[in-house]
Every structure is written in C-alpha cells, then in structure tokens.
Structure 1
C-alpha cells in the first residue's frame, strides 16, 4: 500500500471520528473526550493513569466516561460500587474484549468461529488444571526447578571457599530465575538435560516483546512496531509441536492443551505454538516483576526481612528439617500455606505495584445500577472499567498508602481482611488478579512461585542494596495491564549465608 494511500485512509478515519463525535445523553455519566479525534485522552492516561483518574474523580465524581484510543471507558472509582459491577453477568461481558485482543497480540486466530467448535470452552476448562489438587504437582515441580536454577547459577560458592559479596541487578536476577524455572515447570525440559539451551536468548526476545505489549493490547498494527513481528515469530517458533514433542516432564496443564489442539485440523502448527506462547506470557509477564517488587521491598526493609526469614526457618524446623546452605531444600504446598507474614509482604508489594484494569463490555444499552440509590445509563459496546490501583492507594483505606508495611495484611497473628471505606467494610480491598469470574486462574500458583523464590533467597543469602541509589520507582507505561515494571533496575549485593 502506497504512503499516499495510507495518509488518505488515515485522514478519512480522523474525519469519520470527527463526524461521529459522541455527545452525552440524559442519565449518562460525565463525558470527557479530549481535543484529539480518536485519541481522546489516551496520551494523558498512559502518562500516569492513577493521577489522571484521581484528578478527574475530584472534578466529576465517582463515575465518568473517558474517550481513550477510540473506546469509551466508563470508570467506576468507588470500591463500594465494585460488587454491583462484578456480579453483572448477562449485560456486562469480559470475553468479548479478550477474545479479540489476545489473538491480535499473540498471533493466533480468533477461536470463537465455526472453524473451531467447542475449542473455546475446552480451553477455559483446561485452566482448572492450575488449581485444586493439580496445584500440588505444579508447586512441587516449581520447587525443584527453582532449586536447579539457584544451585547451578548462584549457589556454586560454598561457605569457607569464597565468602565475598557478589553484585547483581535485581530485576534481571529475578527475571532470569523466574523465567527459566517457570518455563521448565510449565513446558518441561529436554529429555537428556535439566535445562534448555538458548534460554537467555528466549528471555531477551520475551522482554523485547513485552516492551511492545501495551501497544499491541491497544491494537496498534504490529507491522508499525519495528522488529516486534520478527521477535514474536521467533518466540512462537520455540513452541512448534515437533519441538515440544521432545520435551519431558511437561505439566499436565500444557499436555492437556497440546492434546486438545491436535484435535482440530483447522489449527495450523503455528497457531498451536502461538497459544503456548500466550500462556508463557500469562505465566511470567506479571509474576516476574511481582517477584522483583517483593524482593526489593524486603531487602529495603531489613527488619521485615528478618521477621520473614525467621518465619521461614520456623516452618522448616516444625517440619523436622535442619537447613544447611550446602544442601537442597524443599517447601511443600502445605508449608507455603503456613507463612502468613511472607504472604502479607507479597500482598503489600502487589498493592504498591499492581495497576490492572478490570473491564467489562456492555452488551446492550441499559441502566447500570451502582448502589441502592443510583444508576447510570451505558451504551452497547462501552467498556465499564474498575481501576483497583486507586483503591490500593486510597489513604482512607490504607494508612500512609505509599509506605511499604510488610505486616499490613496481618492482625493478631492472622490474615487481616477487614478494610473500610466511608465506614463500610469493603468486600474487595486487594485486586491484583482481576475480579469475579475473570480472576486470573493461575493466581494461586503465582503466589506460591513468589513464596518459593523468596524462601530460597532468604535462606541461602545475605542481601543488601548497594549504596548511592535512589529508591525504585514504577514505570507507568504498562498502567492498566498488571504489575508495573521498575523505571530503572536496582543494584544489590548477595553472599552465601554460613548456616
């Protein structure tokens, strides 16, 4: 297509947007359109979504509609209204959005078509293999794979041989360990080796793709994003069926999905591989940065680190294990459940770093009830959005919300679940994994992964931040999509503990 034709098409689309500019109807929330056709307020929102929404909340109240990149998004800012949105089923749907955006982002065909009868339902059922009794096998496998990566990459030095400090970049350290251990747990390993070759290159391609992920979710054509299409193709090709057939110790979850895909002749090998690549992103894209933030906050607060470390050691002692740094250690799923202070620290890190948007698409024009006394009119095709970061950072709910308190979710030695807004107890107060029927099905596995990583880290190493650094801050470019990345990496020192 010629540049002139592209320009004309672009001008035409802008003209159509101008001609179709939306006006507020009676009963609808305040409408914020911005002065740029189609783009609306997208640039301001992406710059700092939390600040943008808080400023508009002060001006327009708890419910308002914003034009963002051609979409009209109605934000519900009061968490006391969340239950009424989450329980809506027939008139508000999440799958319409995900069924379109995920294929576009990861490069597989939309599976709701008549070409793939029953596939969507079978894929959804497969996620049950990440929970319940199946979680035990996944957790045990992850424990072994974390131990392999730690032992071979970071535990080569024994006490007495070389007790000096080693330096590292914290985000890269976390990402490298979690990426490979998660990959091995989900997809398995070569039949004749414990680890895959080329894992470093795969991780670098993954990170480059992840940088462009916000633009792909916004449905920017991939051919406009430089080398992204080539990088995505390399990532997909890593999961081609003939290559995966040589891997052993693959999780039941991935085996089931692979067997399911083989039942559809209309799925090409590249389509099957793209589905597997999408699961890799779902497994690592948020869990790895969440691990970084949990590690960073604990290392930044030595008193919290020591409390959590003692809790971990106590769980081992109760289990009859005497930890020594020259031997491998194992934590069962049951033991991980007995670490409330560690879980509180992880939840506090998620509160400070997660910035996901919970979205539903209106299936018809209707009146959306927000609470007993009020409702607003919404239009078919509009997106209804909850933005929990505003709740997570609300000083009425969380005292000094910008401060890390490792025991914020503890009370009298047990998990704290009572948080209040306007004198009313909140049903939803921490939402890093979505809400309702659309909550991340792998959330229990993700929390266990982070716990296991931190258990090994705190047991085996002394840890401290290198001097002369400013504190870590979030990069807001992924706002709305999950756990935020650090704006810059953090340097730290670690050495093997003499235990």
Structure 2
C-alpha cells in the first residue's frame, strides 16, 4: 500500500521486458504533462485504477514510475536527500556531505522541552496582548527569536515557495528568473543574519545552540552560505508545513461545535490555577487532540518521501493487496527498477484510499481513536498506510514540533477567545503545488474572535 513515484533522467520511449508499462499520453514530447500539472492527484488516481499501482509516466522527457517502496539497502535516503537539499534549499557542499554534523544538529532539534518553552512563551504573548493574530509571525518568532528578519524574509520567501517544483525539476534559471532570484535573496538574508553576532545573540536559545554546532572546531562552518541553506529548510518546515497544518487543525476543530466543546473541556482540565500554566505534556499526549492532528496530517499533507535506487533490482508486487488467501502468489508480478532512479512516496494515493480510510476525503477528528480501529482506519496492522512524515530512519525530524505547535496555538486561541466560524471551511488547493507540503486553503476562512471575560471552565 505504499505507492511511490520513480523518476529517471533517461529518455524512455517504451517499456522493455518486465519494466512497468509506459503511459505516453497523446502529445509528443510533453506526454502527460498537462494532465499532471492541471490536477495531478486525480490524474494519478485514474491511472492507478486502470493500471494498478505500477506504471511509468512519460512527461516532458522525464519518466515517472508509480511503485511500491520496500525497505533495504537498494533504496538510499541519504543520497536522495542530498540531491533535494542541494536543489531545493541551496545547502552548501560542505554541510550537505557531513553526516556527523547533521546528526549533531538533529540532536539539538530533538530537545522538545526547550521548543515547547519557546512556543508557549511566544504564542501566549501574541494572543494575550493583541486582538490580531498572525500564525507565520508567531511561529517564526518562536523558533528564531525577535531579532530574526521575519518581515524582510517574507516577500522573497513567498515567491520561493510558489516555485518549489521548479528547483526540484531543475528548470533552467532563464525560464524562471524570478523564482531563482527570490531563492537567492532569501538565502542572502538568512546568511547575513547568522553571521551577525549581535543579532544572533538576541535570537532564540534554539538558534544559538544550532549555530554553536556550526562553529565547533571539528566542523567550522561559518560562511553565510553554510548557514543559509540549512536554516532555509527550517523556515520551510515552519512556514510551509507547520503553519498550514496548525491552521487546518484549528479550523476543523472550531467548525465542529461538539468537538470544539470537548477540546475546550480538555484544555480547561489541564490548566493549573495555582501556577497559571498548562500541563503541556498531558495536552500533547491527549488521545483526542493527537487523533485530530493525525487526521489533519492524513488528509492535508501533500508530501513525498524519497529514496535513491543504488542498484538494479527486481520488485515483486501482489496485484491485490486484500487477497490473503492461499492463491495470493499467483497474482504477484515482477518489475525491474534501475540504478539511478529516485523513488518518491506519494502520500495522497495512500491517505485518500477508501480501502485504508473509509470516507477518505472527510476530516473525522476521532478517526484515530483506538475505538475506531478497524472502522475508520482499516488494515492498520497489515499495511503501512500512514506516512505523512516519511518512514524509516529518515522520518521528518520536525513531526514532533508540528504537533506541539498546533496544540499550543489551539490551546491559547480557545483559552482566550470564543471562536465562531462565519464561512464554511475552504476547499483544498493543490494543482501546481502538488507534492510540496501541507495543502493550502483555496480562499480565506473568516471567523469571529470574541475575547473571553471568564476563562474556560
């Protein structure tokens, strides 16, 4: 149940032998490019229904194969992410190739107690002191501190975000100068900030500790370009994933009157009047709050998880994953994968599959409660059908941060305000942003904020 996309730099005109069947489309050279760019999710699902999970797409000279990802040394995560970090975020060659250095950074990022302190202090100030609320500003301030050039970075970053697929597809600069210039400008601003000792001294503790790793004698990465690529990826994790995930999380909760009441009761039950603080450990472990977040990630995540094929291999795939009888081996087919292909797990094909999740396009906050196992989440013990964060040893290190950030924002908003929707929930906008992060709303979501005179009881 793990459909993936394999892309190759080779120009293939037909499938040979046991290679996956080729879907060429009707337009020479472009192949199925128009269908892909117009509505890629629906297009891939229609192909899957006709051809099963395994097939090749001919698209503007590039080849994609929808596949089933298996674990093993044949599929390498570090090689793939080295390509992605270089193409998308502009990592310097030195930092990209140093595994010990990246492990040291991830160790710092894993200090969740420190991050919770940053988030709670920042969000409480934003919600308590102002009637307005800006998720991006609050998130960036919490992670980087008040000295980080949030507003200065915002405009070029938005242009960068709009052009993510251009960098991944290696679109030449002359075909997209504005996109590449925006990325260069964003990297320049971030690099300048992290080489300014005075500004970094006023930043968050997390930023100071991460910068300390860069400057250790065994690494000595002190150039602006060394800092810029890595911290652009942190901005991306916050702005393009955690912030929209928190938006959908809160928007769905406040749109369901009964669910909102339950969540408000949970918040009130975990507030300590004596200390004037919340029990964040309990809130981030609460079964209902976690279920709502998992459901948000299932429905709204629009991401891929990549692997690089290190050697030619044969992949065996059962045509019918539900066939557990004695004759299941009769339906197994063998497909050839070639060294040099890149395997990208397409999460939506799994998360929106009705065989795995009944009513897949409906947000059900209680879907992941234990009582709904086998009812709203099918085959959980047999299929690896939940992977908004990737899988294996290279799962997204920001997954815990995303949960904490959504819970903290939800708690403070509902603690200080009674929120009532004016509009219906907006639809999801994907199309040209397919595979680039958490899905955005197609229009604003208007609500009323009424400050509470009496705290939640």
- What range is the shorter-chain TM-score in? 0.7 to 0.9
Is 2:188 the counterpart of 1:214? no
Instruction: Identify the residue that residue 242 of structure 1 maps to in structure 2.
Output: 195
Instruction: Identify the residue that residue 357 of structure 2 maps to in structure 1.
Output: 398
Instruction: Identify the residue that residue 394 of structure 2 maps to in structure 1.
Output: 438
Contact kept, 8 Å, 2:195 with 2:222, in 1: the verdict is no
Instruction: Identify the residue that residue 40 of structure 2 maps to in structure 1.
Output: 49
1:425-458 Cα offsets, whole Å, 9 max, x none, are: 3442322111112210111111111110011111
Aligned residues: 430
1:362 to 301, 309, 316: 309
1:352 to 299, 303, 316: 299
Is 2:94 the counterpart of 1:100? no
1:381-409 Cα offsets, whole Å, 9 max, x none, are: 22333322122222222222222211111
Instruction: Identify the residue that residue 113 of structure 2 maps to in structure 1.
Output: 136
Superposition RMSD in Å = 3.0
Query: Residues 82-481 of structure 1: matches in 2 within 5 Å?
Result: 85-88=69-72, 90-111=73-94, 119-131=98-110, 134-154=111-131, 176-177=134-135, 179-190=136-147, 199-239=150-190, 240=192, 241-243=194-196, 245-247=198-200, 248=202, 250-252=204-206, 255-260=209-214, 263=217, 268-316=223-271, 320-321=272-273, 330-370=277-317, 373-412=332-371, 416=373, 425-467=381-423, 471-481=426-436
Q: Give the gaps of 5 or more residues in structure 1.
A: 1-16, 156-172, 191-195, 324-328
Task: Choose 240-249 or 141-150, whichever is displaced more.
Answer: 240-249
Contact kept, 8 Å, 1:357 with 1:386, in 2: the verdict is yes
CA distance in 2 between counterparts of 1:266 and 1:455 reads: 39
| 1:377 Cα deviation from its structure 2 partner | 1.0
Contact kept, 8 Å, 2:390 with 2:396, in 1: the verdict is yes
| 1:257 Cα deviation from its structure 2 partner | 4.5
| Gap change, CA 1:300 and 1:436, over 3 Å in 2 | same
Contact kept, 8 Å, 2:315 with 2:334, in 1: the verdict is yes
Q: Larger relative CO (CA 8 A, sep 6+): 1 or 2?
A: 1
| Gap change, CA 1:227 and 1:388, over 3 Å in 2 | closer
Instruction: Identify the residue that residue 448 of structure 2 maps to in structure 1.
Output: 493
CA distance in 1 between counterparts of 2:340 and 2:62 reads: 9
Q: Secondary structure at the match of 2:16?
A: coil
Q: Secondary structure at the match of 1:337?
A: helix
CA distance in 2 between counterparts of 1:406 and 1:420 reads: 12
